[in-house]
């Protein structure tokens, strides 16, 4: 009798565990890739400035290949799908709106 009960118990435990994990597998929160990218060390730096939705590749390289307009030069201008690795980060400084000082 004992010989049968043991494996039966183990099977029950195994299947209930398998069922429980599959039941909870769907309850993942929505992924937030931008937030993840900022938390992960050693990953592609996030883009600290505004980019147009269709801006990628050579459009980024105009500044980042040589370091135009104080852009940090990229070590990899040949990887043209920039935004597949670099996601939009927090935009640090707003564009200057109106020059201060002189009143009209
Ligand atoms: C008009 C020039 C210009 C263009 C075009 C441009 N950038 Fe930049 N980028 C800059 C400057 C300047 C900085 C320096 C940080 C800042 O803006 O404060 C920068 C910073 C970055 C950084 C952060 C680098 C670091 O070491 O933290 C990344 C990543 C980046 N840009 C990616 C991109 C991508 C991807 C594109 C295209 C979608 C792009 N940039 C287009 C000028 C540009
Ligand atoms: C395959 C992923 C990937 C692609 C595609 C990619 N980068 Fe990067 N980038 C990285 C990583 C990772 C870093 C962090 C430094 C490193 O490991 O080279 C980085 C760093 C940078 C930096 C900081 C300076 C440096 O080189 O370390 C800039 C600027 C940059 N990338 C711009 C760009 C631009 C512009 C493009 C598109 C022409 C681009 N990246 C495409 C992964 C990528």
Predicted confidence (pLDDT) per residue in 42-97, tens digit: 888 999 999 998 899 999 999 999 999 999 999 999 999 999 999 888 887 766 66
Answer whether 68 contacts ligand 2 (Cβ < 6 A).
Answer: no
User: Above 60 in pLDDT, residue 104?
Assistant: no
- The residue whose C-alpha atom lies closest to atom 20 belonging to ligand 2 is 44
Question: Would you put residue 43 in left (φ > 0), alpha (ψ -120 to 50) or beta?
Answer: beta
pLDDT of residue 13: 84
CA 5 vs. chain centroid, Å, equals 50
Neighbours of 57 (CB within 10 A): 13
Angle in degrees, CA 60, 64, 70, rounded to 5:
120
Instruction: Please indicate, yes or no, whether the overall pTM of this predicted structure exceeds 0.85.
Output: no
pLDDT of residue 89: 87
Q: Among 76, 82, 89, which residue has the most ligand 2 atoms within 8 Å of its CB, making it the best to mutate?
A: 76
């Amino acid at each position: 009798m004992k010989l049968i009960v043991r494996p039966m118990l183990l099977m029950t435990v195994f299947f209930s565990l398998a069922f429980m994990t599959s039941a909870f597998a769907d309850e993942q929160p929505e992924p937030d890739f931008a937030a993840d990218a900022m938390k992960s060390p050693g990953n592609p730096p996030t883009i600290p400035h505004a980019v147009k939705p269709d801006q990628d590749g050579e459009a980024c390289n105009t500044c980042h290949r040589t370091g135009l307009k104080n852009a940090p030069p990229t070590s990899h201008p040949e990887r043209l799908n920039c935004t597949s690795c670099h996601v939009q980060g927090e935009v640090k400084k707003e564009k200057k709106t109106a020059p201060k000082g002189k009143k009209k």
